[in-house]
Structure 1
Amino acid sequence: MREENESDADFTSRRRDHAEVRMKYDLKRKKWDISNHKCLMVAKSTISDATRGSILDCDTAMEYLQKVESQFTDSSKAYASTLIKKLFNEKHTSGGIREHILKMSNTALKLKPMDLGLKDVFLIHLVFASLPKEYETFIVNYNM
């Protein structure tokens, strides 16, 4: 910025002296912006859709990760409750049975770090309870 009592020649000279510093700063800033953008994309792509949708967009990757962290530290009980409800209310509607079982198993695994892990036998019963009538022979064969 030009100072109040500065002449045109002094201002031009001062600007010319700082041009190299400004250029280095602009180059470093551009590299940082690209790196930050890549980090944000990686962070967002590795987080589940439900979690990603509940977090507001941020300008920096660090800010975004702090919001993700605060989401889970503040609401771990609520998150655990949501996972448990999801397990108990899950119903197989379409698609393969393998994907359904893996989905329920993955949900149950998310409870383990919160010391709420389910026994495998109980998880199997939850999976069977979530299956429609057409899989009844599968359930009977397993029980035998």
Structure 2
Amino acid sequence: MEFGLALRVDEPLVPIKSSTQIEKASYERWEQSNCLSLMFIKSSIGKSIRGSIFECAKVKEDLKAIEQQFETSDKALVSTLMTKMCSMKFNGTKGVHEHIMEMRDIIAQLKSLEIEMSESFLVHFILNSLPSEYEPFKISYNTHKENGLSMNF
């Protein structure tokens, strides 16, 4: 039996009385492959995730439903990460280095979700998250940047 047949081949027509033995056997092989593929997918996905995905009778449709669920999840994650990054301000409870590293981590997560931002924007965004007591540092950075130096975050 071909396990992935239902993924590679479109569903054949449902056999009728006048169908040939080959057509009936082809449909039966496809149906078994579809059933096994669906069972494999369901057994591989956790119950908490499985409940949020619309169940389909065909494996190709099931995979599309799973893909759509995760696209929605990615969009929600992007929104959450952007909100977190925009609201981050250095408050002195941790070191500046740790604050910057947390922001870099969020930026890396956004990049993995195909959200690109220029390095210049990110540097200014991070600098703006620092309180006013870091103004001399910000001024120094901006002055040196104009002279061709850059900050490697």
The TM-score, its normalising length taken from structure 1, stands at 0.50
Which is helix-richer, 1 or 2? 1
**TM-score, structure 2 as length reference:** 0.47
